[in-house]
Chain A
Amino acid sequence: MKKTNIKKNKNIQTAVIKNKTNMNKYSLGFGLSLVVTNLLNAVILVVKEVSSSVMNVMKAALGHHWTTHAVMLLFIFVVLGAVFSIYEVGAKWDSRKLMYYISGSVIISIVIITVYFLPYLIVK
């Protein structure tokens, strides 16, 4: 009887460990922030290239549109990372899901940026 109980407890413990998320709240929070910031990078690029008023505002803000773009992204990454970590957004996520989202966001942003500038490669 005792042996059966010990075995049952061990099985329960193993199940709990297997189901438990492997991720620390900072690792997850800043990982999610990375996903959002990567996508925002492509969005900001397209918006500033399409809208000359946005481009002018970004140039005026820190002297160069690229500098403003960089500071905006770093600021958003840090703030969102802190917020997501504190509020433990996506607490049930595991490393695998985060890996897919990070890889996806990087691929999507690279494709948007490349496709946006592709006509300049073809047309002189």
Chain B
Amino acid sequence: MLNQGFMMSHVLFGVLGILCAVALFMDVLNASGKNYQRIKMLSLAVAVLIVISFLIGGYWYVTYYGAERDIIKAGAWPWAHNFFMEVKEHIFFAMLLLGIYLPIAVYKNIPLTNRKNKNLVLAICAMIILIGIFMEGAGGIISKGVTIGLRG
């Protein structure tokens, strides 16, 4: 039960991080003096949510994943671990670093009405969103790999 709780909260915080990155992307597109406070808050929220997702996911991976990995590898979808989990766990670092850098880029890179500054933040948001979508898809395939492995 604790295993499932950790896994679900890892996904929950990850999805919330992606959603905040989407909201930030839209706010930066329409950056002005009026929404600058919200832009700062959202950039911090993305960083915090991704770091929490990393900590929970990392703990789950190190503590619980071993047993599930064996089930996946013995099943019909061994590539769910051999490819998707391996790629996911390493590409996630790019998302984590982008997430941590995001508030630095927002707080220290003003004004965001400047086109070049705006594009930098937009590019970081876009990369977080795209990598995040891949993370969710890969996570789905890995959990399906466990289900298929349990069927035998």
A interface, CB within 8 angstroms of B: 22-24, 26-27, 30-31, 34, 37-38, 41-42, 45, 63-64, 66-67, 69-70, 73, 77, 94-96, 98-99, 102-103, 106, 109-110, 113-114, 117-118, 120-121, 124
Contact = CB atoms under 8 A, between A and B. Distances in A.
A57 B98 CA distance: 27
Interface stretch (B18-26, B37-45, B89-97, B143-151): B89-97
B83 A117 contact: yes
B83 A66 contact: no
Interface string B63-98: 000000000000000110011001101110110111
B118 to A, nearest CB: 8
Contact of B127 (A45, A69, A95, A103): A103
Given A27-B105, A103-B127, A121-B83, A22 B93 contact: no
The SS class assigned to the A binding surface is helix
The 4 A-B pairs with the shortest beta carbon distances in the complex, nearest first, are A120-B82, A24-B108, A95-B116, A27-B108
16 contacts: A22-B117, A34-B101, A64-B62, A66-B61, A70-B54, A73-B93, A94-B116, A96-B119, A96-B120, A99-B116, A102-B98, A102-B124, A106-B98, A110-B94, A117-B86, A118-B83
Contact of A31 (B58, B83, B87, B101): B101
A66 B95 CA distance: 15
Given A34-B101, A67-B62, A95 B117 contact: yes
- Chain B interface bracket (under 10, 10 to 19, 20 to 34, 35 or more): 20 to 34
Contacts of A45: 90
Contacts of B58: 66-67, 70
Given A41-B94, A113-B87, A120-B82, 17 more contacts: A23-B109, A26-B104, A26-B108, A30-B104, A34-B97, A37-B97, A64-B62, A66-B62, A70-B58, A73-B97, A77-B97, A95-B116, A106-B94, A110-B94, A113-B91, A120-B86, A124-B78
Contacts of B101: 30-31, 34
Contacts of B82: 117, 120-121
Interface in B7-59: 54, 58
Contacts of A94: 116
Interface in B113-137: 114, 116-117, 119-120, 123-124, 127, 131
Contacts of A102: 98, 120, 123-124, 127
A113 B119 CA distance: 26
